[in-house]
Structure 1
Amino acid sequence: MRTLPILIAVLLSTLSPDVLAEDASRPSGTATVPLQDLIPLYAQREAPAAPPPMEALVKSDLTGRLTAEALLVEGHFEVEVLADGRWTQVRLLQLDADTYPTRLPTLEGATVGVVDGYLCLVTRKAGRYELEVGLAVRSSAAGAERRAQLRFGAHAAPVPLTLEADTSVFTLMEPLPSSAGEGFTVYPAQGALRVGWRAAAPVARGEKVQVRPPLEPRITEASATWVSTLEGRATLRVAYTLSLDREQPLELMLPEGHALERVTLNAIPVPAEAEGGVVNLKVAPARLGETGGALEVVLTRELGVFHLSGRLKLALPRVSWPVAELRARAHFPSVFNYRREGGSLEQVDAADAPAMEAASLPGKVLHFRQYLVAASAPTLELGYSVDISQSYFR
């Protein structure tokens, strides 16, 4: 009979004080609860939180500059991590064999480093993280040319790179639009930024540098197209062929009653606004070292509903540069006959009209032309009346 207390004492001595205290504080036993009381308790239980739609959102801004053998990139990232309580890996940039990190930040609650060939932010805490990184992208050489590329990670949307390049030291191989000063914009293609350049040829000692005189900017030719519906809504598209050797200002004065729809420079849309009917632009050659560019302007206007007969007064924008030759074409409703009644544009026959881009546009086609336009807005006045040539009653 004395062995039972000794066995109980031995079992109690093997348990830690924390376990004994926890068992003593935890209630034990069973309880019977009526169903009508259990249902409200079951409804009040906490539902598991839904996972976020994505692990993180990334906003980035990249700038770069060229050296003789590499592209140096500075990146600013704003990362919003949505997942909390579990490890999240945000892949920002892909580091190829020729890409090396030169500067990595130290963050509170997160780590930035290279993981499986990617520049990543790793954390298990939700929140906003801002980081600055530096990268060196070593170029591959093909003769005198150098090429470098930087790929984006899976979580970072591709964004343009603002590139600083001294054109007296480097010649860019890609057609890059100029942003300001010596800055150029490199747009991503297929998830990567690609830059090509070569070093400018050194000038021999004692050799004089031949400086080309600045090219007087002008417009070698312009083509305009009017298209109007029977309800009187007209669209005017004007394309200018530019002759220039550097960035230059260009001013367009819109005709009265016209609204600016869009402007493209070298096939790239550019932001532009008409202030008081005047559009001020900065135009540049399509490629570095070339002397040609292209500008296209699209305008709209309400001509009013066509009547049985009437008169149309049309005009083109006034350009601050001289225009050597202007060709115009009008596509108006085919139920009318048209006759030129005035204006600076002269009508020409279709057979004598210069070749313009073929377009499957409806309506009757009229051709016009003007030479040597300077500091003026080309105008055209047309009279129209119902075409009864196909009527049985005359």
Structure 2
Amino acid sequence: MKLRFKILLMGLLSIGNVLAQDELPTIKNPLGSATLPLPELLKLYQATDRAQEKPKKSPPVKASLTSMQLEGRLLEDALDITAHLEVAVLADDEWVTVPLLDIDKTVSISSLPDIENAVIARTPKNISLVTRVQGKYSFSISFIKKAVQMKQGRKAALGLNNPSKADLILRFDDDLFGLLGENLIFKADHVVAYPVDNVLTVHWKQKRKEAHRGNDTAKRPPVESMISKAHVSSVSTLEGKLISRVRYDLQFEGSKPISFQIPASTVLEKAYLNGRAVSVKNEKNRVDLQVFPARPGDLSGTVELVLTRTYGNYHLGGSLSFSLPEVSWPIHEMYLDLHLPEVFLFKRNSGSFEPVEESPETSFAYQVPLPGKCYSFHQYLITSAAPTLTLDYTVDLTKKYFVAESD
């Protein structure tokens, strides 16, 4: 058909004399004839070609949840789970919905991913991936699954949506909890649980605390709630926007409340507890958070705050004042790294921080690029007042020479 169309097109273009005289080509046929403008004739042949094209066959399976790797932490009355999922989408340019997890009132979502060319949709019954782009999608979802009180212990059942492969790697303190039930494989430092009929069930009981575990335990004083170390990493743009990540390494026992007073003109963007994003209420620049250890039985945890503030454009010279949240717990020591534009020279003017050569490396849950020159500061023993720092700056003319031209 395409060859016949090309031959016809060449023939039509060769009848220049006819077209020059504004005469239209005539198609003769034993059943009759018709005179059509050239554009209309081309449209007819193109439509005929499209009609003869074979439609694309849809794949036998449009999409599939190929893998579900669950990592869980056992709490007193719930499971803290992160699901690592892989979805294969075979259909192209066709909307598909892939159910991932069954949810109900006992499931609280901690974090959802941002996926290119796809979206995670939540309904009252499940969480699904929706897309119309063919490909393989790998992502993670974090959530808390509340347990149901049983006659013996607690039980949590999670409905799965027929994944090709699924298991749960469960970590817990065996001095505090004991697992019940079947389909469990005990490893050196964790337990692997497998689903039955697309339902993953974890049944556990809390071990009774002994009244006395020896004289040392009975005499042990309570752990004081404090921040053993805090680390601040801030980066500034030339437009004067400052992005700060503040990580607090906590030392405490059990579950404790902690509060942060956010400085004026500062916006709290995100908050993380033990590396997981959490939603918090910011009332009159005050944030109250209930913290718990990273693992049951531990005496430590982390809180990370992501803050932004806009100072405005830099000038040829001036000063910048930095202030950090005031915390209800005492802070043993705090490090501050400021990544500032290289076109300026910065020098400490005042504040509670003192300059140091460098600060120890720290990992943050929230990732951000760190261009510019780094200035490091340090402070010991922060009990009540919020840490502050003021820097003076001027344009950096180091190794820049200006030669005046003479007449």
Q: Taking structure 1 as the reference length, what is the TM-score of the superposition? A: 0.54
2:361 paired residue among 353, 356, 365 = 356
SS at match of 2:315: coil
Residue 148 (structure 1) shift: 7.5
Q: Aligned equivalents of 1:285 and 1:240: distance in 2? A: 13
Q: Does 1:283 align with 2:288?
A: no
1:254 paired residue among 235, 253, 262 = 262
In structure 1, the partner of 2:65 is: none
Encode CA deviations 1:47-93: one digit per residue, 9 max, x unaligned. xxxxx988999653454357798763478x9xxxxxxxxxxxx9799
In structure 2, the partner of 1:245 is: 253
Q: Quick one: percent identity of the two aligned structures?
A: 32
Q: Does 1:218 align with 2:226?
A: yes
In structure 2, the partner of 1:343 is: 351
Q: Does 1:264 align with 2:272?
A: yes
Q: Aligned equivalents of 1:201 and 1:55: distance in 2? A: 45
Contact 2:147 2:154 in 1 (8 A): yes
1:370 paired residue among 365, 371, 379 = 379
Instruction: Map 1:31-180 onto structure 2 (within 5 A).
Output: 59-62=103-106, 63-65=146-148, 72-73=155-156, 137-138=181-182, 140=184, 142=186, 149=193, 151=195
Higher Cα radius of gyration = 1
Residue 371 (structure 1) shift: 0.5
Residue 287 (structure 1) shift: 1.2
Residue 273 (structure 1) shift: 2.5
Q: Aligned equivalents of 1:357 and 1:335: distance in 2? A: 27
Q: Does 1:293 align with 2:301?
A: yes
Q: Aligned equivalents of 2:214 and 2:298: distance in 1? A: 28
SS at match of 2:263: coil
In structure 2, the partner of 1:334 is: 342
Instruction: Structure 1 unaligned segments of length 5 or more: list them.
Output: 1-51, 78-89, 97-135, 155-190
Q: Aligned equivalents of 2:147 and 2:324: distance in 1? A: 41
Residue 143 (structure 1) shift: 10
**Shift in CA distance, 153/296, structure 1 to aligned 2, threshold 3 Å:** farther
Contact 2:250 2:302 in 1 (8 A): yes
Q: Aligned equivalents of 2:322 and 2:214: distance in 1? A: 59
2:391 paired residue among 371, 382, 389 = 382
Q: Aligned equivalents of 1:228 and 1:204: distance in 2? A: 55
Q: Aligned equivalents of 1:70 and 1:332: distance in 2? A: 55
**Shift in CA distance, 340/91, structure 1 to aligned 2, threshold 3 Å:** closer
Number of aligned residue pairs? 251
Instruction: Structure 2 unaligned segments of length 5 or more: list them.
Output: 1-94, 107-145, 167-179
Q: Aligned equivalents of 2:395 and 2:337: distance in 1? A: 20
| CA RMSD between the two structures | 4.3
1:60 partner amino acid:
D
Encode CA deviations 1:257-297: one digit per residue, 9 max, x unaligned. 11001111111111112211111111111111111111111
SS at match of 1:60: coil
Residue 201 (structure 1) shift: 7.2
